[in-house]
Amino acid sequence: MTSQEKAQQWLDSKLVDDATKKQIKDLQENNKEEFEESFYRDLEFGTGGLRGIMGVGSNRMNKYTLGMATQGLSNYLNKTFKEQGVSVAIAHDCRNNAEEFAKVVADVFTANNIKVFFFDSLRPTPELSFAIRHLGCKSGVVLTASHNPKEYNGYKAYWTDGAQMVAPHDLNVMNEVQSITSIDDVQFEGKEALIETIGEDIDEAYLEEVKKISLFPNATEADKSINIVFSSIHGTGITLVPKALEMYGFKNVHIVEEQAEPNGNFPTVVYPNPEEKEAMSMALAKGKEVNADIVMATDPDADRVGIAIKNAKNEFELLNGNQTGSLLIYYLLSRWGELGKLDGNQYIVKTIVTTELFKNIADAYQVESFDTLTGFKNIAAVIRDLEGKKTFIGGGEESYGYMIGDYVRDKDAIASVAMIAEMTAYVKSQGKTLYDYLIEMYMKFGFYREDLVSITKKGKSGSEEIKSMMTRFREDPPKKLAGTKVVEVRDYQKSTILNMESGVKTKLNFDSSNVLQFFLEDGSKISARPSGTEPKIKFYVSVKGKLRSKESFEEDFAELGDIIKSYLDGLDL
């Protein structure tokens, strides 16, 4: 169907309002390029839901694209849980139109006789995950575009276990959504009687679970006197992070006030992403001003956290997601051990592109470690499979997301901030800084450095280039990189492990995914993963070296950076 035909469907619809029709006509007449962008395709409902630029049209986030997605999800829920009665939970973050979009979603659910638990104001994504299980819901939706620019909004759909959907439900819901071919198929007239407002009661229940994961029961007031700087970067973190820190006993918490007010325009940053130094700049300035022990910031929906610690020169240094995650795993496992809680029945989970340091630490504490494909829905799937059999301690992935305990089934920056603060206090009570703790970890379990390179190839030719790049690596994998042997190639699409020395292939027991990994004889790992939704290919590089001493850390770390560069050069990108 052409853009004009799609637009005509909207113009002919009885349900599309006059203001939207006027905007469509205006685009047709006055902005051909924007009109084409808005209607040339349908906004894709992927395995996680929807994400896109807000505006009119089939390729935009608006009342009607949200309505069609929710109608498809409603149809699937009603078919799957026929006799049981279906309820869902709905939350939204700080984004422009997020509250209005959430109300549209609630109306479509209730029009389909589905009960809705509706948060009274903005809330973090992990709390929505918690609420689904706490309230016994069959599904849930949060309106968020995570750390995308202000023009974006999104729709993340969850299943009964509080996790984003995995097979078979993800594909089944996608099929149901795709079968809604007209706006006129959507039931928009909601039933107010089926909406129940929720708020502080869920906050308290959730925070009670966050409190339970604490591992520093004998902390003194002096231990808790550390200086903390926190920024919510105009997002939902402000609703619960200060409460969580107070509950943990931390009183010297300095909020970055200029970024405390929720605002979908994110006026003080270019991108509301705590992975970026620019987004952390105000928090870092505040950290310097108050001589903070730790600086932390969460993204708009508070599922990711970025942190900065003081280095040997007493200057703040941002840690990457692998470093923060590794520190958390080290703290969790060491404290579980010290408190006598490890009995061989515990485990952690990481994704395949995350540092192997997680596994090294787990091995040292005789705790089982599981690998999954990228995405927290896959970590949650392991937890679901092992529920009642083994105890999940924690897990995470390199993209600044971590989960501690199993009461939430998605990455959780609220619990992570509380635990990072506790870790900082514990380490300080031992006469050390987090920087000392980082080096201690590297010396004990292995010295790694990671980097992520994202290459964008635009247009149709770009997609073809990325395909041919993956084909080249599959058919002729590198035997050496910068003089170091490649010993193993894992192909997650073909489900094979190739031993480069013997040429023998064995089965890889993972779901199919377009990912290739090269393991080198020095313990380094390179992962190639094309994006499923954008013309991008990502290379996750993790190199392993030797840390000679605490004093040589900076020099040795820089040397690993040079090795990363040489390995990337060897891939001939």
Rounded to whole angstroms, the Cα distance separating 116 from 106 reads: 6
Rounded to whole angstroms, the Cα distance separating 522 from 1 reads: 53
DSSP 421-448: HHHHHHHHHTT--HHHHHHHHHHHH-EE
Contact 528, 507 (CB under 8 A): no
> Sign (positive/negative) of CA torsion 174, 176, 182, 188?
negative
Rounded to whole angstroms, the Cα distance separating 352 from 349 reads: 10
Residue 146 among the catalytic residues: yes
> Sign (positive/negative) of CA torsion 54, 59, 63, 69?
negative
With a CB cutoff of 8 Å and minimum separation 6, the contacts of 245 are 228, 230, 253, 417, 418, 421
Rounded to whole angstroms, the Cα distance separating 364 from 366 reads: 6
Rounded to whole angstroms, the Cα distance separating 543 from 526 reads: 8
* Cα-based angle 254, 259, 261 (whole degrees, multiple of 5): 105
Length of the chain: 573
Rounded to whole angstroms, the Cα distance separating 564 from 288 reads: 31
Contact 245, 418 (CB under 8 A): yes
| Residue 488: count of CB within 10 angstroms of its CB | 17
Question: Looking at 129, 146, 232, 524, which residue is catalytic?
Answer: 146
| Residue 254: count of CB within 10 angstroms of its CB | 17
Rounded to whole angstroms, the Cα distance separating 58 from 65 reads: 6
Contact 413, 124 (CB under 8 A): yes
Task: State the catalytic residues.
Answer: 146
